[in-house]
Each structure stands twice: as structure tokens, then as C-alpha cells.
Amino acid sequence: MVVEGEFRTEVLVIGGGIAGAVAALAARRRGAEVVLVRRALGATALSSGALDVAPDPLATPRRPRGQELSLEACVHHLAASRPDHPYAILYDELGRFPEALAFAEDAIDGVRFASPTEANRCLPTPVGTLKFSGGALHSIIDGDLARVESQIGVVGFRDHLEYDAELWARLLTDACAAAGLVRSFVPVACDFLSRRDDVLLQPFEIAARIDDDPAGFVASVRRALSPNVKRLLLPPVLSRGDPEVVLRQLEDALYVPASESLATRQSVLGQRLQRYLDEALEREGVAVVRGEIRARDDRDLDTLEYRPARPLPPPARLFLPNGQEPEKNEPGTPVRARAVVLATGKYLAGGLAKNGCLYEPTLRLPVAVSGPGCASTFRLTAHEVVEEQAFFRAGVRVDGGLRPLDEGGAIVDERLLACGDVLAGHDPARDGSAMGVAVFSGYIAGRRAAVVAAQGTSFAGEGG
Amino acid sequence: MSRFWGNLYLAYRALAARPLKRLLRGEGGIERFYENYGPEGLIPTTAQDRAMLTAAGRCIACGLCDAFDGNLSRMDRSVYDGASLLPRQWARTSVDLPHARRALSRLRPAELEEAQYVCPTGVPLVELAHWLSQRARRVPAP
């Protein structure tokens, strides 16, 4: 897409997580030429494999299942109770929510959502807790503990430090009891990892080992399996690619259905989701470019520049004045796009940055916390983790069309849209709606970007 | 009166004895630093060191780099546990560097490029590996 010293496309998506990928795919399906630029991996590649849409409003630590309201009802409740949440901002579009989920399922392999009329799925984690989520990767979602009632064998690796079958079974039994579910978990400690230093293997290495020898893994599970087990729950390390091969072999050899649990740290499932996104982008003909986009002038889409991906150099000065970024001396390639979708995430992926105050580094859009402006980071975090953290709700304020707004509430640029975690008003870690916001806002932004690109008479960079 | 003699003694120490002692010893601060702290594995921190330490401090220990580190499969787990060791452990203190020498000598910085690309916070892993190798050479052997 870099032609004669300039970078030209109809729709430019900045950010390659799930929001950016869904936006790119939605724009592409509407016929636009799309380029997606990403600097590095972000929160999507670190995600647990759960695709949370909206939590049950009546769920409490004592009653984690809540009233088991439908996903649609949970989304509407979140929108009604939190006027700054992206679901509330997009209230007029909420009718399209099922369409957005169906689009994501169709476009991205391995992504599955419960029907909008169904309740959140009850999914186990490797630390013995339960996560209630509206969707998950396909290897996980069938292991909904609210639906399976048979005796469940939980597979661990004998002598491995992290995946201890006995402890996991006990913790899950307790967690299910606390959620009002009577389930029986049987430890299945297989001897698949038996080399001297296997005890320290990291999750992605176990996954690679299983990829290399799926039959050996299945045989080790068979050796450890007790006859009364009717279903298997596996640690989230089945494969770095497609877990279907191992799952099918397990089911064929042992005659029991099997599913993975969600992941915690060093998530193989997050990396798998990222791979599914990359494959979908390639299949649909979206060009993915490694690099970084920055506007030379604040909020000016006509001065966007592309630079190849490079690690941030060691800083020349240790302390920079508020909101100032390290200087980049090399000239960038000018970017020409009819529509731009900002899907740069929050702090982890670099969509928001903190240097004395919060700022949005790509276009220097105003960051809203409780009000617009360059928000001071002082007193934006509360002492207790479970309290509301204004810091994590900060982001770019948008109108109902997902167009970023300035301090006065005016649209920054008609050709600019934002989606995903960069939006203000939701805390992806706490709200239980991160992936839902990413998919829904990405879908809406992508479709709008395609329309803007089709109507546009000029490219950004050649004057509005 | 004793206060007067006390102050006079302190003034003599500060203005005459100590400067003369420093002058006659003929050693700079660096030599004395190494003499005092070298055996513990501590070395002076230069301006370049400070910049690299700040860059390493961006690491959030997410572990993504480990999954894309080509060096991991070539070394024993007791020697090397993945690229995140560089910013998380070896950059934190020079005391650990003598123990890291074996891994650092076998580390191929080129194989860290993919790990560097996926890093969400932009830790310059390749540059960090070069810097740590040089820094390890400056630490006296235990």
C-alpha cells in the first residue's frame, strides 16, 4: 500500500486487536479497500479466551449467577444504568447487537457467542474460579458448567507446578457449590510431561509439545482416566494452532466430550484468538502492516504519518514535561485515507498514555475522564481493586456515530471513527463487557467507515 | 569550651585531613566504588545504563515475548527462561549478572526480533541483550 512515497487506502484501521480486526472485516465486507496498521500485540493477545458481552446485573459475589438474564437484557441494563458506557452511547444501534455478534462468529473462525436470548455461560478458569461470559473460543464454550451435569474429569499434569489436577478439582467443586451448582470433579493427573525440567514449562511450550505429539497426550490422559468420568475439562494449553485435532482425537479415543478451560497468565488462548483474527483478515483481503501511525499536527487527519514498527528507543531524557512524547526524528510516510478507524486500545496497547496527564498519542484527541481535557492522573485510582477506577474508564469521547468529540462536544473530523477500549466510559477489566464493546463498536465503526469512504470525495492528507 | 574544640576538630577533618587524604591516596571514586561494592556485584550506573534501565522498566511481565523467543528452545531451562528475564530480572540489578553470563553468551539477539515486535510496551529487547552482555563483562567475577 506504500506507493511512491505515500501510504494510500480507502479505510485505514489503526490497531490490530479484536476491535480493529472486526472494524476492518466489517468495512471490507462492505467493499472498501482496507489497510490495518498495528504496532505490536495488545490486550487481545493476552485475553483469557472469554468473550464477555455484559454481566448479569443481579450477580453478586454471593450469587454469581445472578438472575440468569438473557445477554440482550444484560446489554440493555448496562446501557440504561451507565450513561457514559459505549452501549449507552450506541443506544440507537443496540438493535444491531445480535447482528454484530453473528458477524463476528461468521467472519472469525473459533469465535462463538451464546444466543442473545440465552444467559451468560459459566466457564471454569485454571485457578478454580468461574467466569460468566457471553461468548468464548469454540474449544471452551461447550464446557459451560451450568449446562453439563455429568461427572467431570479435570486434566492436570503430574508434577507440573501450575496444572495440578487434584487442587483444580477441589477448587472447582467449591466454586460450583458457591454458585449453587452441584457438580462432581474428578482429578485426572496425566504423565504427559515427564522430562527433567518439564516442571517449569510455560503454557505455550506445553501447547507446542501437545501439537508435536497429540497421540501421546491422548494416551497419557487415557492412562489416568477413571471409568466413571463422562466429560473432560482440559487446561488451556491444547494447541498453539487449532485445538480441534486434539479434541477430536480425545473424543474418538475416550468416548467422552472434552473442552478447554479459560486461560490466565501467558494465555495460549489469547494468542490463538489473535491468530484467528489474523487468518480472518488475510482471508478477507485486509492488508496488515506492522508500524505506527501518528498525526504530525494535533487532531489533524491530513497530517497522518506512517513509520515502520520499531521498539521504543531508550529515552534521551528521563523526565518529559506533561503529556510530551519522546521525539521521533525519522520522517514518516504520509498517509492518505478516506476514513480512519481508531482502535488503538487503552494503556496496554498504547491507545492512551500517561505522562503527568492522560493523552491519546495517535491524534492527540482529548481524553475524557469525568470531563474532557488533558486529565491529571492524580486521584484517578481508588485504593481497593474492586472499587470503580476512573483511570481505567478514561478514553476518547464519541457521539452516537462513534465520531470522536473535542472538549466542546464538536466532532473532530467526520472521517474519523473510534471503537474498542479506546472509548471512554468503560473499564475493560471491571465492567465485564470488554469483548462485547470491541465487537459491537468495531462492527458499527467498520460499516460506517466503509460508507464514509464511499461518499468521500478526497483522501485525508489532500485536504478535507 | 569542649564545644569549641569539637568544632575545631571537625573543621580540621573537613578542610585539611580529608582533602589531603584523598589527594595523597591517588585513587578516583570509581576505583574506590569497585573496591567497596565490586565484591557484591554492584557496578556504577552510567547515563546510558539509566536510559536502558528506564526502557527495561516498561516491561509489564505479560510474557508475550517468551512465546516468540527463538532462544528458549536452545537452552536448558535452568539457564534461561525466556526473553522476559532480560527486563524483569537481569536489568534490575547487576548482582544477578554473573549468574546470567552463560545464558547471555549463548543468546542470539537476532532471535529476539519477533519477541521484540510483539511486545505491547515496546521494550527494546535486542538492544537490551547487547547492553546486558556488555554490562555483565563489567561486573567483577564473584
How far does B60 lie from chain A, in Å, by closest CA?
9
| Grid cell of B105 as nine digits | 553468551
Q: Which residues of A touch B117 (CB under 8 A)?
A: 40, 290, 309
How far does A190 lie from chain B, in Å, by closest CA?
22
| Grid cell of B20 as nine digits | 589531603
| Grid cell of A328 as nine digits | 521521533
Helix (H) or strand (E) holding A113: strand A111-113
Indicate the residue of B117, B120, B121 with minimum beta-carbon distance to A290: B117
Tell me how far the alpha carbon of residue A5 is from its chain's centroid: 34
> What is the SS3 assignment for A278?
helix
Residues A267 and A218 grouped into a single domain: yes
- Encode pLDDT of A234-250 as tens digits: 999 999 888 999 999 99
Q: What's the CATH class of domain B41-138? A: mainly alpha
Residues A267 and A358 grouped into a single domain: no
For residue A3, what pLDDT is reported?
Answer: 47
Residues A101 and A246 grouped into a single domain: yes
The answer to whether residue A341 sits within a structural domain is no
The answer to whether residue A332 sits within a structural domain is no
How many other CB atoms are there within 10 angstroms of residue A146's CB atom?
Answer: 19
Q: Which residues of A touch B48 (CB under 8 A)?
A: 314
How far does A292 lie from chain B, in Å, by closest CA?
12
Report DSSP letters for A170-209, one per residue.
Answer: HHHHHHHHHTT----EEEEEE----STTGGG--HHHHHHH
Answer yes or no: are the C-beta atoms of A360 and A398 closer than 8 Å: no
Residue in chain B nearest A326 by alpha carbon? B55
The mean-pLDDT minimum among A234-248, A349-363, A404-418 falls in A349-363
The answer to whether the CB atoms of A315 and B124 lie below 8 A apart is no
Structurally, chain A folds into a number of domains equal to: 3
The answer to whether the CB atoms of B78 and A197 lie below 8 A apart is yes
How far does B39 lie from chain A, in Å, by closest CA?
29
The mean-pLDDT minimum among A201-210, A306-315, A344-353, B54-63 falls in A306-315
The answer to whether residue A125 sits within a structural domain is yes
Reported confidence tier of residue A280, pLDDT bands at 50, 70, 90: very high
Task: Quote the CA–CA distance of A88 and A393 in Å, as a whole number.
Answer: 14
Give the pLDDT mean for A371-395.
71
- Encode pLDDT of B114-128 as tens digits: 999 999 998 999 999
Amino acid occupying residue B81? D
For the cut 70, the answer to whether the pLDDT of residue B110 exceeds it is: yes
Report DSSP letters for B57-117, one per residue.
Answer: TT-----HHHHT-TTGGGS-TTT---TTHIIIIITT-GGGHHHHHHHHHH--GGGGHHHHH
Residue in chain B nearest A45 by alpha carbon? B64
Rg of the Cα trace of chain B? 22
Residue in chain A nearest B116 by alpha carbon? A311
The answer to whether residue A170 sits within a structural domain is yes
The answer to whether A138 faces chain B, any CB pair under 8 Å, is: no
Task: Quote the CA–CA distance of A159 and A162 in Å, as a whole number.
Answer: 9
Q: For an interface test with B, give the residue of A48, A200, A204, A211 to mutate (most B CBs within 10 A).
A: A204
Residues A22 and A61 grouped into a single domain: no
For residue B73, what pLDDT is reported?
Answer: 84
| Grid cell of A308 as nine digits | 515502520
Task: Quote the CA–CA distance of A266 and B30 in Å, as a whole number.
Answer: 42
The answer to whether the CB atoms of A202 and B82 lie below 8 A apart is yes
For residue A372, what pLDDT is reported?
Answer: 42
Residues A149 and A248 grouped into a single domain: yes
For the cut 60, the answer to whether the pLDDT of residue A70 exceeds it is: yes
How far does A301 lie from chain B, in Å, by closest CA?
24
For the cut 60, the answer to whether the pLDDT of residue A318 exceeds it is: no
The answer to whether the CB atoms of A311 and B54 lie below 8 A apart is no
Task: Quote the CA–CA distance of A349 and A43 in Å, as a whole number.
Answer: 6
Q: For an interface test with A, give the residue of B117, B123, B127 to mutate (most A CBs within 10 A).
A: B117
Indicate the residue of B66, B117, B127 with minimum beta-carbon distance to A40: B117
For the cut 60, the answer to whether the pLDDT of residue B46 exceeds it is: yes
Residues A209 and A136 grouped into a single domain: yes
Residues A21 and A147 grouped into a single domain: no
Give the pLDDT mean for A283-298.
94
Give the pLDDT mean for A420-426.
94
The answer to whether residue A350 sits within a structural domain is yes
The answer to whether residue A9 sits within a structural domain is yes
Residues A89 and A20 grouped into a single domain: no
Q: Which residues of B touch A309 (CB under 8 A)?
A: 117
Task: Quote the CA–CA distance of A201 and A363 in Å, as a whole number.
Answer: 42
The answer to whether the CB atoms of A42 and B120 lie below 8 A apart is yes
The answer to whether the CB atoms of B54 and A318 lie below 8 A apart is yes
DSSP state, residue A256? S
Residues A243 and A352 grouped into a single domain: no
The answer to whether residue A101 sits within a structural domain is yes
The mean-pLDDT minimum among A3-17, A189-203, A378-392 falls in A378-392
Residues A58 and A169 grouped into a single domain: yes
Residue A20 Ramachandran class (φ > 0 left, ψ -120 to 50 alpha, else beta): alpha
Task: Quote the CA–CA distance of A97 and A21 in Å, as a whole number.
Answer: 17
For the cut 90, the answer to whether the pLDDT of residue A414 exceeds it is: yes
Question: Which of A284, A305, A322 is a domain's end point?
Answer: A284
How many other CB atoms are there within 10 angstroms of residue A379's CB atom?
Answer: 8
Q: Which residues of B touch A39 (CB under 8 A)?
A: 122
For residue A329, what pLDDT is reported?
Answer: 59
Task: Quote the CA–CA distance of A141 and A233 in Å, as a whole number.
Answer: 11
For residue A282, what pLDDT is reported?
Answer: 97
Report DSSP letters for A205-230, one per residue.
Answer: HHHHHHHH-HHHHHHHHHHH--TT--
Reported confidence tier of residue A462, pLDDT bands at 50, 70, 90: low
Give the pLDDT mean for B32-60.
88
Measured between alpha carbons, how far is residue A9 from residues A3, A286, B137 in Å? 10, 11, 50
Please give the model's pTM, rounded to 2 decimal places: 0.90
Reported confidence tier of residue A323, pLDDT bands at 50, 70, 90: low
Domain limits at A174?
41-284
The answer to whether the CB atoms of A39 and B54 lie below 8 A apart is no
Q: Closest by alpha carbon to B114, among B68, B64, B61, B82?
A: B68
Question: Which of A284, A299, A320 is a domain's end point?
Answer: A284
Mean pLDDT of chain A: 90
For the cut 50, the answer to whether the pLDDT of residue A373 exceeds it is: no
Task: Quote the CA–CA distance of A192 and A82 in Å, as a whole number.
Answer: 48
Residue in chain A nearest B131 by alpha carbon? A314
Residues A103 and A140 grouped into a single domain: yes
For the cut 70, the answer to whether the pLDDT of residue A2 exceeds it is: no
Give the pLDDT mean for A375-387.
69
For residue B47, what pLDDT is reported?
Answer: 87
How far does A52 lie from chain B, in Å, by closest CA?
21
Amino acid occupying residue A351? G
The answer to whether residue A315 sits within a structural domain is no
For residue A384, what pLDDT is reported?
Answer: 76
The answer to whether the CB atoms of A46 and B62 lie below 8 A apart is yes
β-pairing, A152-157 vs A185-190, is parallel
Reported confidence tier of residue B29, pLDDT bands at 50, 70, 90: confident
The answer to whether A205 faces chain B, any CB pair under 8 Å, is: yes
Q: Closest by alpha carbon to A345, among A14, A56, A99?
A: A14
> What is the SS3 assignment for A9?
strand
Asked whether this complex has an ipTM greater than 0.90, the answer is no
Amino acid occupying residue A378? F
Residue in chain B nearest A313 by alpha carbon? B124
For residue A326, what pLDDT is reported?
Answer: 59
- Encode pLDDT of B74-108 as tens digits: 888 888 989 999 999 999 888 888 889 889 999 98
